[in-house]
Amino acid sequence: MIAQHRSLTLSIRRWWRREDGSMTLEFLIFAPLMFFTFVGTLAFFDAFRAESINEKAAMTIADLISRETGYINDAYIDGTYGLLKFLIRGDAKPDMRVSVLRFEEKRKGANTTDQDRYRLVWSKARGTGAHVAITDNEAKTMLPKLPTMVHDERLIVVETWSNYKTFFNFGFNIAWTSADGTAAPPPDNILLTSLIFTAPRVGLAQTCFNNTTNVANRIC
């Protein structure tokens, strides 16, 4: 019995120390893992690249408007919407909303209940119609998303929405949520959103909206 036990022990030790063999089994185990890791990395990289392009396109439009010295009109908004579609390319029908808001500081005094808030100057929307122009009531609720500014100062706000579609289901619904934040979108149709704000660079002229040549019709 002792000899058999010793022989079995030696056999196990020799088997444990062996370095010869075939790579077939290891390849069968690790090949699927390597494949999904590689494809998943490409899928996530492309999704984040699309999100970055969407944000940079909104930044470009906001910067363009902030440098404008003339009036903004519907033709100008149509042009910026065409620029947005050209830059993002992934979605042929993105949504865009350009707004100018005015910061209203709360009135001083112990008896007032007013709070800092934004008031609507003007707002225009382009796209499929899912996102309409900002109302004054909606502008009042945007303070948590925007900076506190000097009383009566203007702010140019550019918002974009575009759909990103992927052929791979790698849990994108975990990384992105729907526009209202209540439910995750399907993994093959992700809504990319951006909100970019900037102050006018020259003065108040470029924040005025006017479709006519009559100065009295401007909205500032």
Q: For 2-54, what is each residue's pLDDT tens digit?
A: 555 567 777 777 777 776 666 677 777 788 888 878 887 887 888 888 889 99
Long-range contacts of 31-38 (CB under 8 A, 24+ apart): none
Q: For 125-149, what is each residue's pLDDT tens digit?
A: 998 877 888 988 898 888 888 988 8
- Is residue 71 within 8 Å of 218, Cβ to Cβ? yes
The pTM of this model reads 0.72
Long-range contacts of 74-81 (CB under 8 A, 24+ apart): 74/124, 74/211, 77/124, 77/126, 78/126, 81/126, 81/127
Q: Which two tokens stand for residue 178?
A: 């729907």
Tell me the pLDDT band of 197, cut-offs 50, 70 and 90.
very high
Q: For 59-118, what is each residue's pLDDT tens digit?
A: 999 999 988 888 888 999 999 999 999 988 777 788 999 999 988 887 655 455 578 888
Q: Is the dihedral of CA 51, 52, 54, 59 positive or negative?
A: positive
